[in-house]
Amino acid sequence: MVTKSKTPGADSPAGGFPPDFSSTVKESAQQIWLAGLGAFAKAQEEGSKVFDTLVKEGVTMQRKTQAAAGEKISEATSKMSSFATEISSKASGGWDKLETIFEDRVAKALKNLGVPTASDIETLSARIDELNRNLGKLASRPSAAKRAAQKTAPPAAAKRKPARKSA
């Protein structure tokens, strides 16, 4: 005959668990609940301190970041200014060369057409001024013919006739 073997705890009232097992579970659940409440209270208490600490660290980090960004912006601005100055000087040099070439070609074309240059006109103006000064000096001097006539001419009183007396 086959005999059935008994499963352990089949005779116990809690489905095979010892009789004080449910109270142990209740106690454990109660302790877990209380531990959670304690953790929540601790987190709430410490949380504001941690929050304030995090805000302070955030402000410090923001200042460092802004300072670093300011340095980079300043450095980039300096480089761009230097670059712009360099480009400007190169462009200016190119324009100066182009201007010189243009002026030389225009002067050559005007010379071929017989148009006097500015220096030619300045030279002529200087010569005209000098001639005007010399003419002014000559005009202020009596001429040689006038001087000779004044030396040979009788005085003005001798040229007059005596006045007649009427009777």
- Given this model, what pLDDT does residue 16 score? 65
- Given this model, what pLDDT does residue 62 score? 92
Sign of CA dihedral 98, 104, 108, 109: positive
User: How do the domains of the chain map onto residue ranges?
Assistant: 28-140
- Given this model, what pLDDT does residue 167 score? 52
- Count of CB atoms situated within 10 Å of the CB of 89: 10
Segment-wise mean pLDDT, segments of 10 residues, the chain, 167 residues: 52 62 87 88 80 88 92 92 87 83 89 87 95 89 68 59 59
- Count of CB atoms situated within 10 Å of the CB of 17: 13
| Radius of gyration in angstroms for the set of CA atoms belonging to the chain, rounded to a whole number | 62
CA distance 22 to 9: 15
In 3D space, the residue among 76, 94, 74 whose CA is nearest the CA of residue 84 turns out to be 76
- Given this model, what pLDDT does residue 110 score? 86
